Amino acid sequence: MNFGYVKDTAGITKPINLDDIKIINVTSDSITIRYNLTGTSSIVDELAFFISFNNTGDISTGQIESQFYKWLKNALISTSPSKASLNSAMPQLEIVTAGLINTSGYRNATFLAAVDETAACAASPTAACVVESEVGTPPVGTLVLANPSTNDYEPIADGTYALNVGGSKYFMSLIGSRIVQITVCPLVLDFVFDPNQQASGTPSDSNYFSLANVNSSTFINYYGAFSMSAFTGSGFSISCSSLTSLKGSNDRTWPCGYIVNGFLDATKGLGQLPAFAIQLADPNVASWNGATLYVSDDYYVTGDYTQATWVGFNEDYWLQGFSNFGNGTQFPAGGISPTVESLIMGPTTDPSTLQPAGRVFIPAGTSISGNAVFGATQFVTLTRTGDLKNSSNCT
């Protein structure tokens, strides 16, 4: 049993197994200890103990390597844990994190330097990073590493930043690449679509936001109605080649098509249906690309979007099921066939991940936060993360 020890900027000391090391990779800001030779060059989900550091002394990679091997030699024969401390052997390095990197333990995010909260919340961060936090607002102490390219994880300089995690924006301060202060940005929405605007008949044009469904019959089953003769059109094949298809008897989109065709009436929840909202990547640029889709189950209560509760309409949300998506829902939880995912994912493909993606139909309108104007109804790709891509005009 041979162990060295390393302490990170969170103040946590971890042992480093010095037995069975197969290879060591040293760069100017990291040391990777690998315990196998058969893996890929990836360090994620691999037998790779990753030590990331700020090179405050600006010492060369050769010097780091030399000092590391000197430490290793001493640690292997040391009988005292204190003499096996990597921090003591390499005082020029501020060690930010040490350990395996597992995908189950972090989320992808983006960041951007910002002088204050106002600037941060108005910014659209684009630099890739990983956040060692699986759900919710990352707490103080959370590790944040820049991820400029695959397998490259780097400490971020001390300072203040905008952070975007799954569509939620934050203003954070980092010291030692760890969050020491974090503030949730108020959600700034550009569009709100409320299908309840008509108690019967057709939702108004400005609220005609609807999702294509993969299989009309399974969506019908989801609501416990096993036949729906009122529908004559196809499920997701609506391509907006004719707006009459989208807003007429052939419209099987949810929820607006179902309202138009008389299936979603007051007895099926009309009046209390969830509302959708969109935050553009830039409220002054009329592009759905990079926009984020939100949903609210309580918007109908006040009709005031600033008082409603909004959550990202992404797989984390829909895996819970559409429990509030109309009365009479038969299968409110994911995992029961048909799952929500099987209903809405599949009309198209996410070009980035090549995974099945959804399709949403978005009406024309003007941003309520900026000056972006969309002149036509468009159909847009909905990814599993709740982001929008690849818009096309409905003509």
Binding other proteins (rule: CB under 8 A), the pick from 63, 105, 262, 366 is 105
Residues of this chain, 132-171, that bind other proteins according to CB under 8 A: 133-135, 139-141
Q: Quote the least distance from Cβ 3 to other proteins, whole Å.
A: 6
15 binds other proteins (CB under 8 A): yes
**Quick check: 60 binds other proteins (CB under 8 A)?**
no
Cα within 13 Å of Cα(312), Cβ side: 21
Please tell me whether residue 103 binds other proteins under the rule CB under 8 A. yes
User: Which residues ranging from 221 to 250 are in contact with other proteins (CB under 8 A)?
Assistant: none
Nearer Cβ to other proteins (3/218):
3
**Contact with other proteins (CB under 8 A): which of 27, 45, 240, 311?**
45
How crowded is the C-beta side of 6, counted as CA atoms within 13 Å? Answer: 24
- The DSSP-derived string for 209-271 is -EE--S-HHHHHHHTT----TT--S-STT--SS-HHHHHSTT---BTHHHHHTTSS-GGGTTT
Helix/strand/coil for 273: coil
Q: How far is residue 18's CA from residue 313's CA, in Å, rounded to a whole number?
A: 46
Closest CB to other proteins among 49 and 219?
A: 49
Q: Is 38 in the site for other proteins (CB under 8 A)?
A: no
Residue 388's CB: how many other CB atoms inside 10 A?
25
Q: Indicate whether 81 belongs to the interface with other proteins (CB under 8 A).
A: yes
17: contact with other proteins by CB under 8 A: yes
CA distances from 31 to 22, 49, 64, 152, 363 (A): 13, 8, 9, 12, 52
Q: Which is nearer to other proteins, 88 or 232 (CB)?
A: 88
Residues of span 304-323 touching other proteins by CB under 8 A = none
- Interface with other proteins: number of residues (CB under 8 A): 31
Closer to other proteins by Cβ: residue 35 or 317:
35
Stretch that binds other proteins, among 17-25, 113-121, 262-270, 353-361 (CB under 8 A): 17-25
Site stretch for other proteins (CB under 8 A), options 78-86, 160-168, 252-260, 273-281: 78-86
Among 74-82, 236-244, 268-276, 378-386, the segment contacting other proteins (CB under 8 A):
74-82
User: From the list 24, 47, 59, 243, which residue makes contact with other proteins (rule: CB under 8 A)?
Assistant: 47
Please give the Cα distance from 378 to 357 (Å, whole number). 16
> Amino acid identity, residue 359?
R
Stretch near other proteins under the rule CB under 8 A, chosen from 56-64, 127-135, 287-295, 298-306: 127-135
Distance CA(218)–CA(235), nearest Å, equals: 10
Q: Does 41 bind other proteins (CB under 8 A)?
A: no
Tokens found for residue 298: 């309580």
3-state secondary structure of 387: strand
Torsion of CA 219, 220, 222, 223, to 10 degrees: 130
* CA dist., res. 271 & res. 277, Å (int): 17
Give the containing element (helix H, strand E) for 178: strand 178-184
Q: Residue with structure tokens 């204190």? A: 82
From the CB of 19, what's the least distance to other proteins, in Å? 7
Backbone angles phi, psi at 41, to 5 degrees: -80, -5
Tell me the closest approach of the beta carbon of residue 181 to other proteins, in angstroms: 14
Task: Tokens for 4, please give them.
Answer: 């060295």
Binding of other proteins at residue 49 (CB under 8 A)?
yes
Residues that bind other proteins (CB under 8 A): 1, 3, 5, 10-15, 17, 19-20, 35, 45, 47, 49, 79-81, 99-100, 102-105, 133-135, 139-141
